Each structure stands twice: as C-alpha cells, then as structure tokens.
Structure 1
Amino acid sequence: MRIVEYRLHRFQFARDRVIGDSQVRIEHAHMATLELVTDTGLVGLGFIPSLFNALPSLAEIDRIFRVEVWPSLEGQAPAALVHRVRRPRGGNIRSTSLPFGEGIDQALWDLTAKQVNLPLWKLLGATRNRVKAYASGLDYHLSDDDFCALFEHARSIGYSAFKIKVGHPDIERDLHRLELLTKTVGKAEAIMIDANEGWSPQDAVRRLNIINKAGYDILWIEDPILRYDFEGLKMIRAGCPFTLVNSGEYFGASDKLRLIEARGTDMINVHGYITEVMRIGWIAAEQGIPVSLGNSFLEIGVNMAVALPEVEWLEYSFQNFDHLVEQPIEIRDGWAYAPERPGHGLVLSEAAKREHATPDVIASADLPRAPLNKRLPH
C-alpha cells in the first residue's frame, strides 16, 4: 500500500462562543484538513489547526505542501513512516512553513490502522474502550451567566469533573468563579483549574493556599507558571501538597522528557500528536507519572488516552467542530468512548466540504458561522 494522492480543504468560521484564558482570547476558528489517499483507495485524515491566525488561501497551502512535504510522502508506505526516527541534525530537520506536522502524523496513523482493519486504539495496544471525560469551559472571557449555563449543561448531561480558567490579577475573581462552579454543579468528582502560566512561583503558592483555605479541593493546577521554570514548578509542588501540578502542555517531546527528568510536575499534559503522545506516555509509565490528555482536535486523542495506562482523564471543551466529520467521538455520561471503526474513527464530512469549506481568506467581519455544537443547548 503506497500513498499516491493528497487532498486539502480549508475552513474558517466564527466560533459559537469566545474561548480563551488569562493570556489569550479567540473568537474565530482556522484550520485545514489533509487527506492522504493510497493506491488501494484508503483515505487517512489529519487536521491542521491554526489557533490564532487565518491560514493562507487553499492554493497557497497546497503550494507549500507540495513543495515542502509531498516529496517525503509520495510513494511511501504509511506504516513505514509512523515510527521513523530521524537524527535531529542540521538544516534537514526543520519545521514546515505551515503547521502540517500533527495532521500528517494523524493521517499516517489513520491509514496504518485501516490497512490492518483495526481501530487505532486497538493497534496502539489498548485493553479498554473508554476514558473519563471532564468538562472544560475555556471560559475566562464568558460572563457569569454564560459560565454557569455552560457548566450547568455539562452537569445535566453526565459530567462529574470540571476545569475552569483562573489566573485573573484579582484572586477574588478566581474565588468567585470557583464559588459559581460549585453552586452550579454541586458536589463534583473533581475540579481542576488552569492558570495558563499567569503566575510567578511565589504567587502561585500564595494563591493556591488561599484557594485551598477557602475550602476548594482542587485535583490539579495546570500550567501555573512559565513552562521552563522547573525549579519554580518544584517549589509549587513542595508548597502545595494538597493539589497536583499538571504541566508540559506547551512542550514538544524533548522538553516534556526534560520536565519529567527534572521532577517538575506531578502530571504530564499531552495533546493530539499521536507518535509523540505514545512516546511520552511510555516514558511517563516507566516513571509512574500520570498523563492527562488535553484538548485534541475533535477528541482524536481518545485513541491514545485508552491505550496509555497512566491516562485517567480526557478533556472536552464543547467546541463547534463536530460538523466537520461524519461521526464525532461519542461522549456519554462523562465517558469518552473509543470508536470501533477502523483507523482513528474520524472521516471528513462530504457536507462540510460542500457547504463549509472556504478556499479563500475571509475577513473577520465577514466570517460565516458554523453549525452550533449539538452537544450544547440552543
């Protein structure tokens, strides 16, 4: 089985709500999709998200892909590429001009699993088919009313664990949000908070102790300080034994390894890059460090989450991407279920290609609105 063709589609639309944290605010969605096609007719799908800025036109995306990426894929067997290790030396190892890497990785794994007619999670060695999901609001910029409505809905459909954004300059605002959350959802199985590097080490210790003394039992604090401050992270671990430090979100595999070796975190945060997640997951398992599966595009990360023994939680943040695929990942009663379909389980929607693809760049003021997330009340 060889890769003989590729297809790219570009999407750009207004989100159904503002998302963000103490550092960023995001109102629009920008992404492309990559389909790799084999000589046997199998199609592997990958996602190329751009979190903050619009991607160039489809014609330009295609030009860059054809020049920078396609020569290394054309005629290759997908299964021969997913485990390939290259020496990080010289100018031959470099990033592409656009963020193709994760999407290529996903499409290759999708094809590899389809070739042997297995769901990806089974190919990765999983012995379970579900993982606990927690409701993540990406809620920093929501009004109090919208904040409560989001988490009330999450509770009503079976979520028992919740993560909110903190890191406001005024600690009283963070305490206020925690009070609103607990009043809205009642007794939770777990509450997590995420400061997105908004604090210094000393400030983090002080604030976390204030939160703890106010009676809030926090399972983990995510990214409390600057990612490279390993000594500061260790200070927080020592000064706040009542909670876990969850870090590593912004790191690639090499720096995640350094973070683990430095003992700078209680948990390691991974996302949607399948090869990288599995490699880090194996290392974390050897070290006995729990892994949390953060936001991955359309919850593709459920495949890795059920395959890694250290993963207890998968993040779900109610983003309106479901219309892009024929069948989204099932999340029911606070559990995310790995699909039984061959491959990673996601297939690009023909309707999305026809009705929602945007080959040309659209000004923000003119962006269309995508269909609302059916997992939210309307």
Structure 2
Amino acid sequence: MRIVDFRITRFQFARDRVIGDSQVRADDAHVVALELIGENGLTGLGFAQSLFVPLPPEAEIERIFRFEVWPTLEGERPLALVHRVARPRGGNHRALTLPFHEAIQVALWDLAAKQAGMPLWQMLGARRDRIKAYASGLDFHLSDTDFAELFGRADALGYTAFKIKVGHPDFERDLHRLDLLKKLVRADAQVMIDANEAWSPKEAVVKLERIRDAGHALLWVEDPTLRNDFEGLRHIRHNATWTALNTGEYLDASGKRALMEAGAVDILNVHGQVTDVMRVGWLAADLGVPVSMGNTFLEVGVHCACALPDVEWLEYSFQNFDALVEEPIAIVDGIAMAPDRPGHGLELSEYARRELRRPDVLDRSELGAPPLSKPAAVSTAG
C-alpha cells in the first residue's frame, strides 16, 4: 500500500481551564489533524498543536505541508517509512516550519498498523494492553479552589498517583500546594512534582530537602533544572537520593541518549514520536534506565508505553481534546487501556469536522464554550 493523498483540518477552541507551569500558560487549543490516505482507502491520523500562538489558516497549513513534507511521503509505503534510518546531512537536517514531526510519525504508524490489521500496541510487540495512568494537573495557574476541584475529582475517578507543578517564586506556595494535595487524595497516594526547569541544581537539592522535611514523600521530581545541564542533573541525582530524577522531556532522541550516557537521569521522560520513542526506549532498556510516558495527544502514547519494558506510568492531564475523536482512549480506575482496534484506534469525529473546524484564525472572543472533557476517564469503584 502506498500513500496517495493527505487531508489537513484545522481546529481552534477554548480550553476548559488555563493550563501551564512555572514558565508558560495557555488558554486556547490550536490543533491540526493530519490524515494520510492510502491507495486502498485506509487513513492514518496524527495531530499537531501549537501551545501558545494560533496556527495559520488551514489553506496556508496545507500549502506548507505540501511543499515541505508531502514530497517525502507521496507514493511511499508506510511500513517502509516508519523503519527508515537516514543520516542527517547539512540542510536536510532542519526543523519544519510547523510542528508536524510527531503528527507524521503517529499517522504513519497508524496507517501501517491498519494495513497489517493489528492494534498498534501489538504491532510494536507489546505483551500487555494496559498501564497505570497518573493524574497530572498542569495546574500552576489554577486557584486553590480549582486545584482542589481538579485533584479531588481525579481521586474520585480512581487515580492513585498525582503530579503537580512547582517552581513558584515563593517556595511557600509550592509547600502549600503539596499540603493541599495531601488533604485531597487518598492516604496511600503517590506524588510527583514538576518544576519545569525553574531551579538551579543547588537550589533544587535544598528545596527537595525542605519538601522531605515537611513530611512529603515523592515518587519523582521532574525537570528540576536546565535540560542540558548534565552535571547539574547529576548533582541533584546524587544529593537527593530519597526521590527519583525524571527528566529528558525537552530533549530530542540524540539528547536523550547523551543524557542517559551521562548518568544524569533515573527515569527517562518520553512523549509521542512513535519511531523515536521506540528507538530511545530500546537504548534505555539496554542501559537499564526506566521510562515514563509523558503527555501525548489524546493519550496515543499508551501504545508505546505498553510495548516498552520498564514503563510503569502514563501521564493524563485532563485536557478537553476528546471531542476531536469518535472514541478516546479509555481510562478506568486510573488504568489506561490500549484500544483493541486496528491502528492506534483513534478516528477523527464527525462532530469535530462539523463543529470545531476553523479554516481561518478566530479571535478568542469568537470561540464560544469549550468542548466537553473526557467522558471515558471513569471509575467503577463504589
């Protein structure tokens, strides 16, 4: 089967809450769906998003994709492309104008698995079809009231692990949030914190000691200092041995390799680029480094998470993207379940095509009410 066509659909809608961390915040969703169409009519779906600025009009997105990407895909076989290894040289090694890298990989793998008639997790070699999900608030800019509502609801839905944002200029506020979380969730909950590079290495060690002395146990601290400060990360790892260091989120595949080889990580954080994740995951397994699956669009990372060894957790951050697909990834009692459908199991919804498509850039005042949040994240308890 060869790729013969593509389809671009632009979406823009209001989020149901402000999301962000110690460095950034976002109020709106700017998303484009990429559909790669095979000669037999099968379609592979991937998503690209811009966190902070609107994407160009749909016609311009299509023009850029046709010029920059389409020549590398047209007439090619998906099964060949997902495994192709090329040595980057000169001008051939450059960023795309728009953030299509992950969308292309996901769409190609979706199409390849559909051609094989297999769920993606099976095609990737997984022996399991489910993994624990932790509740991630993206909560830095929320009020205490909204913070309490979000994590209280997550606990009621059956989540047993929770990650909050820290790195506030007033460290007492970070401690306050940890105290508040402890009151909201079950007594045996596991807790992670994410500083998004807000601290220096020495500052991180001091603040982690204060967190421990305040009576808080942490499963991990995520990105406490700059991503490429391997010496600083090693300092944190060796001086805060009571918790694990989770990092690598902001590094590409080559950077993740260098991070692991430098001994500057306890748990490697990966995201949604399927080919890159599987290759880096193989190296992590060879080096004995556990992997965690960070945020992936519509939790498509569940497939890689199930396929890679030593992956215990998938991040779920309660973003209101589910209206984009007919059937989102199910999370029940804090367990994410990979779909038993060919491909990655996500299909663009007719509702999204009809109601959420925005060919042109809209002002925020024109977006209206946000789509509903995830209906599939449910609890069967009680």
TM-score for the superposition, normalised by structure 2: 0.97
Query: Is residue 53 of structure 2 the alignment partner of residue 53 of structure 1?
Result: yes
Deviation of 1:354 (Å): 1.0
Q: Give the Cα separation in 1 of the matches to 2:31 and 2:341.
A: 24
SS at match of 1:91: helix
Q: Distance in 1 between matches of 2:91 and 2:245?
A: 36
Q: Which residue of 1 aligns with 2:245?
A: 245
Q: Partners in 1 of 2:326 and 2:31 — Cα distance?
A: 17
Q: How does 1:262-273 map to 2 (within 5 A)?
A: 262-273=262-273
Q: 2:122 maps to which residue?
A: 122
CA contact 1:356–1:370 (8 Å) conserved in 2: no
Q: Output one character per residue of 1:283-320: Cα deviation in whole Å (capped at 9) or x when no partner.
A: 11111111000000000000000000111000000000
**Structure 1 residue matching 2:92: 3-state secondary structure:** coil
Cα shift at 1:98: 0.9
Letter in 2 for 1:314: L
Structure 1 residue matching 2:305: 3-state secondary structure: helix
Task: Compute the TM-score of the two structures, normalised by the length of structure 1.
Answer: 0.98
> What secondary structure sits across from 1:151 in the alignment?
helix
SS at 2:199 equivalent: coil
CA distance in 2 between partners of 1:184 and 1:26 (Å): 25
Aligned residue number for residue 360 of structure 2: 360
Residue correspondence of structure 1 range 3-82 to structure 2 within 5 A: 3-82=3-82
Q: In structure 2, what is the equivalent of residue 277 of structure 1?
A: 277
Q: Is the 8 A contact 1:119 1:342 kept in 2?
A: yes
Q: Does 1:205 align with 2:205?
A: yes
* Distance of 1:271 and 1:347 partners within structure 2: 20
Alignment-derived partner of residue 219 in structure 1: 219
| Displacement after TM superposition at 1:88 (Å) | 1.1
Deviations 1:137-176 (A, max 9, x none): 0001111011011111101110010000001111111110
Corresponding residue for residue 107 of structure 2: 107
Residue of structure 2 in register with 1:144 after alignment? 144
Q: Gaps (5+ residues) in structure 1?
A: none
C-alpha contact (below 8 Å) 2:197/2:225 kept by paired residues: yes
Contact 1:166 1:195 in 2 (8 A): yes
Instruction: Give, in whole Å, the separation in 2 of the partners of 1:73 and 1:194.
Output: 37
2:133 is matched with 133
Q: In angstroms, what is the RMSD of aligned CA positions?
A: 1.1
Residue-pair matches, total: 377
Partner Cα separation in structure 2 for residue 347 and residue 299 of structure 1? 13
State the SS of the aligned residue for 2:110: helix
- Equivalent residue number for residue 340 of structure 2: 340
Residue 188 of structure 1, CA deviation: 3.4
- Note the C-alpha offset of 1:367: 2.2
| Aligned-residue offset at 1:85 | 1.1
AA of the residue aligned to 2:250? Y
Q: Does 1:192 align with 2:192?
A: yes
The list of structure 1 runs, each at least 4 consecutive aligned residues, that deviate by more than 2 angstroms after superposition, is 364-370, 374-377
Query: Does the 8 Å contact 2:321/2:374 carry over to 1?
Result: no
Counterpart of 1:112 in structure 2: which amino acid? A
